[in-house]
Structure 1
Amino acid sequence: MTKEIEASTKRRADDAAAPPKLKKTRSTGGSQLDLPFATIEGKPGKVYVFGTGDCAQLGLGEDILSRKKPANLAVLNDKEIVDIAAGGMHNMALTKDGKLYSWGVNDQKTLGRSGDEYEPLPVEGLDDVKVVKVACSDSLTVALTSEGHVYTWGTFRSAEGILGHSKGTEIQDKPTKVHELSNIVDIATGTDHVLALNTAGHVYSWGNGQQMQLGRRIVSRRMLNGLTPESVGVKSMVRVGAGSYHSFAIDKHGKAFAWGLNTYGQCGNENPKTENIPSATPIEVLEEEVFIDLQGGEHHTIGLTKGGKLFGFGRSDSYQLGLGYTETPGSEDSTSHKKAIRHPTLISGLPTVKAISVGGNHTLALTEDGDVFAWGFGEMLACGNGEEEDVQTPLKLTGKQIENSKIIKVAAGGQHSVILAVDN
């Protein structure tokens, strides 16, 4: 490839990653976002799984309870899968025709169907819609359609147990439309909460709000009020993301906002006494960076910039941040019994990254060349390195079954990982 072609290719990639521009409107005399509806992108690939599967997470049958290296989920090879999502203990695969396959734990009906948990089978009740994006929490699944509608099934949980799917339904066994929402273009899930972004750049949240992850205060005696989507109160956002108990939004300038649990600095606030961020707040220490994605794990955060760099902050006792150390050298932070790196820090040693997925305590980073780097908690084999040990710094994913493949999608779950790859 010539230098001129390389430069042209890079410009096109940068343009594609740039936040959408404002659309002027005469009716208001000002400007508002007019974000496009989400669409299915990319060509079909083969699904590979690795990690722990003792709760059916791998989909390889009830006799295969773990895989140290990526293993092909052959039953999906002819389904033309174009995207994947992983939750705490269940997964979704999206076909190019907008249909879903699910497998994993179905205790709270997160699979959206009946039948075998250990094998991928079609989600029921979505025959008349085209799904373009799907997200999985611990016990809930969320699907976004081509027309900007949102469907959910399963339930939310709180610290006290099952919270409910909605005010009138404890557990929703099949996909049901969220009637309070329309014109939605992006979705994200935490452990027990959901974020949705509409075409105007407004963010809505619902689910469990005990850690302020909804961006509004939910009193204990009225916990069910959190099950109804309400505005977070921010404008001009172009993307949403979530950690287990914290939330993110990125505005039209690529600036990062966070709210929710901050006990390890996972919201970008370095003050160890600030345990919660009650409303959407700019991450000031990162104001010079332009972000295209922010995702979190149980108590840590990974941010992806427009230039393909990664920043990590939050809990780090299992090397969740990929920095090679578990607390800032020379720090004497004795306010927490777990190690943390509260200052957002550049993760070095990586090629240009184009996508990330953050599991409970591990991370997958997909590079422009179609390679995957993994790091973090390793006891459950979710990093794919073949060892039951933590991965301290980004390690390239390898395996016999993927040695002639280019990886195009990644999804990190609670104790397992899923990737989508095409043959080179």
Structure 2
Amino acid sequence: MSKRKHSLSSQSGPSAKKPRVSLQRFTSRTEGTLLTLGQGDMGQLGLGEDIMERRRPAIVRELEDIPIKQVVCGGMHTVALTTEGKVYTFGCNDEGALGRTGDEALPGLVDLKGDVVQISAGDSHTGLLMADGSLLACGTFRDGNGIIGLTADTKKATVPTVIFPADCVRVSSGSDHMAVVKADGTLWTFGNAEQGQLGRVPTCFSMRGGRRGLKFLLEPHRVEMPRHRTVTDVYCGSFHTFAVVEHGTEVYVFGLNNYGQLGLGDVEMRNMPCRLENFPPADVSAKEHEPQFSGGQHHSLMLYGGRVYAFGRSDYGRLGLGGSDVEVTEMTQVPGLSNVSHLTTGSAVSLCCDADGKSLSWGMGTNNQLASEGEDDVDCPTAMIGKQIESRRVLAISGGGQHTALIVE
């Protein structure tokens, strides 16, 4: 029995020439030491098979002397990208998400030809954006009935497999889908479509592709953006997707919306891109930064101008708006946060760090993801605690299914 816990077809675009989207953003200046905390029963903390959980951030000793510039947490695995473009993985490998063999509870190097510039992770898969613009992935996608495969020809990829050979500039992963921005500003998706998260599959084809079959879902296809908008960034929640166009001029959303996590003011699912009408927020006088998004299982966060906005499911305190259990269907500013530089969500938690290197967390406390005083839920942003972060600046943070990873100075 598996130990997992269950919780290119090219389509021609418009004839008008698209502006190029650059990879430059991912020449990141972040460089630091990797810490993890939370549940580690699948090895996702990278601290060895004897460490089942950590309530406070702990240094991943195997990587202590290797500068890390990006980390992403999947459902039960972790992916770390070094400043040299190398990738280490650890955690559950039942379905090939680590892209390697060997000890799952300690970081292991993924064998790759070339440098990696961006990584992504879902429940059972990992995405690798290479410096040459190619996209590789390993693992598999699942739907409500089990495994559907990673590609039309691959049920489960245990080593990184080429999805796109060139021209990719952004990648993001939901629980069981991936979204890719290409250099010409087009958005491509593939994976599970049951909740509308691909933005291109009508309801009648959402269940394993209907009469069109799984190939319709697993072969990347272009998402038809309204008015042929140029996509410049993409962010996936567990079952929903945010597409940023024209460097933050507009935002389009699609996918599951049963708690208002799309921020559209209702709870109706969207199978196709729909403009986020209340963006940009009225309380921000000018675009200081492009927006960043992060989506958990049923909630979303947006970072804009140093401020954090939350919407979606509110129980367990995951929105940071107090103790209410009423869903929030429009973006609402989280009080007490300013100068925020990075944010992330786990399934039912939220975390961020600011320009001063202080990290805060809120949401469900039972998995010890928050580095808080106890295991109680936290309903407003609260400083994370722990010996390893009390004298270090937190540079980046990632939330997973039941664990958290930080990069500290």
Counterpart residue identity of residue 239, structure 1: D
> Which deviates more, 381-390 or 144-153?
381-390
1:379 and 1:63 map into 2 onto residues whose CA distance is 20
2:162 and 2:18 map into 1 onto residues whose CA distance is 27
Which residues of structure 1 form unaligned runs of 5+? Answer: 1-27, 328-338
CA offset at residue 292 of structure 1? 1.8
Tell me if structure 1 keeps the 8 A contact 2:125–2:138.
yes
Paired position in structure 2 for 1:267: 262
Paired position in structure 1 for 2:316: 318
Is 1:134 equivalent to 2:119 in the alignment? yes
Paired position in structure 2 for 1:336: none
* Residue 390 (structure 2) aligned to one of 383, 386, 403: 403
Is 1:281 equivalent to 2:282 in the alignment? no
CA offset at residue 368 of structure 1? 0.9
1:369 and 1:34 map into 2 onto residues whose CA distance is 33
Paired position in structure 1 for 2:69: 82
Tell me if structure 1 keeps the 8 A contact 2:200–2:224.
no
1:283 and 1:92 map into 2 onto residues whose CA distance is 31
Counterpart residue identity of residue 34, structure 1: R
Q: Structure 2 vs 1, CA of residues 367 and 43 (structure 1 numbering), >3 Å: closer, same or farther?
A: closer
* Residue 240 (structure 2) aligned to one of 233, 241, 246: 246
Normalising by structure 1, we get a TM-score of: 0.86
Paired position in structure 2 for 1:185: 169
Paired position in structure 2 for 1:110: 97
CA offset at residue 293 of structure 1? 0.8
> Which deviates more, 349-358 or 141-150?
349-358
1:410 and 1:133 map into 2 onto residues whose CA distance is 15
- 1:304-339 deviation digits (Å, cap 9, x = unpaired): 11x111111101111111111324xxxxxxxxxxx4
CA offset at residue 398 of structure 1? 2.0
Paired position in structure 2 for 1:384: 371
1:287 and 1:349 map into 2 onto residues whose CA distance is 20
Tell me if structure 1 keeps the 8 A contact 2:196–2:206.
no
Paired position in structure 2 for 1:44: 31
Paired position in structure 1 for 2:198: 214
Tell me if structure 2 keeps the 8 A contact 1:40–1:133.
no
1:381 and 1:219 map into 2 onto residues whose CA distance is 35
Is 1:225 equivalent to 2:224 in the alignment? no
Runs of 4+ in 1 over 3 A off after TM superposition: 287-291
1:183 and 1:170 map into 2 onto residues whose CA distance is 25
1:40 and 1:139 map into 2 onto residues whose CA distance is 27
Superposed CA RMSD in Å reads: 1.6
State the secondary structure of the residue aligned to 1:191.
Answer: coil
Counterpart residue identity of residue 106, structure 1: N
> Which deviates more, 397-406 or 105-114?
397-406
1:343 and 1:281 map into 2 onto residues whose CA distance is 14
1:283 and 1:219 map into 2 onto residues whose CA distance is 23
CA offset at residue 386 of structure 1? 3.8
1:421 and 1:287 map into 2 onto residues whose CA distance is 31
CA offset at residue 219 of structure 1? 4.2
Q: Structure 2 vs 1, CA of residues 117 and 202 (structure 1 numbering), >3 Å: closer, same or farther?
A: same
* Residue 203 (structure 1) aligned to one of 171, 187, 195: 187
2:105 and 2:266 map into 1 onto residues whose CA distance is 44
State the secondary structure of the residue aligned to 1:400.
Answer: coil
State the secondary structure of the residue aligned to 1:225.
Answer: helix
**What does residue range 145-160 of structure 1 map to in structure 2 within 5 Å?**
145-160=130-145
CA offset at residue 182 of structure 1? 2.7
Aligned residues: 377
CA offset at residue 241 of structure 1? 0.3
Paired position in structure 2 for 1:303: 302
> Which deviates more, 34-43 or 94-103?
34-43
* Residue 82 (structure 2) aligned to one of 81, 84, 95: 95
State the secondary structure of the residue aligned to 1:401.
Answer: coil
1:366 and 1:184 map into 2 onto residues whose CA distance is 28
State the secondary structure of the residue aligned to 2:20.
Answer: coil
Q: Structure 2 vs 1, CA of residues 253 and 43 (structure 1 numbering), >3 Å: closer, same or farther?
A: closer
Identity %: 34
Tell me if structure 2 keeps the 8 A contact 1:363–1:374.
yes
2:93 and 2:373 map into 1 onto residues whose CA distance is 28
Tell me if structure 2 keeps the 8 A contact 1:93–1:101.
yes
Q: Structure 2 vs 1, CA of residues 386 and 53 (structure 1 numbering), >3 Å: closer, same or farther?
A: farther
Is 1:34 equivalent to 2:20 in the alignment? yes
State the secondary structure of the residue aligned to 1:178.
Answer: strand
Which residues of structure 2 form unaligned runs of 5+? Answer: 1-14
Counterpart residue identity of residue 65, structure 2: D
**What does residue range 299-378 of structure 1 map to in structure 2 within 5 Å?**
299-305=298-304, 307-327=305-325, 339-378=326-365
Tell me if structure 1 keeps the 8 A contact 2:141–2:191.
yes
1:40 and 1:96 map into 2 onto residues whose CA distance is 9
Tell me if structure 1 keeps the 8 A contact 2:167–2:182.
yes
Counterpart residue identity of residue 299, structure 2: H
Tell me if structure 2 keeps the 8 A contact 1:354–1:367.
yes
CA offset at residue 231 of structure 1? 0.8
State the secondary structure of the residue aligned to 2:190.
Answer: strand
2:87 and 2:198 map into 1 onto residues whose CA distance is 27
Tell me if structure 1 keeps the 8 A contact 2:152–2:214.
no
Counterpart residue identity of residue 331, structure 2: P
State the secondary structure of the residue aligned to 1:111.
Answer: coil
2:309 and 2:206 map into 1 onto residues whose CA distance is 34
Counterpart residue identity of residue 310, structure 1: V
Tell me if structure 2 keeps the 8 A contact 1:68–1:386.
no
- 1:239-270 deviation digits (Å, cap 9, x = unpaired): 10011110011112512211011111111122
1:102 and 1:311 map into 2 onto residues whose CA distance is 31
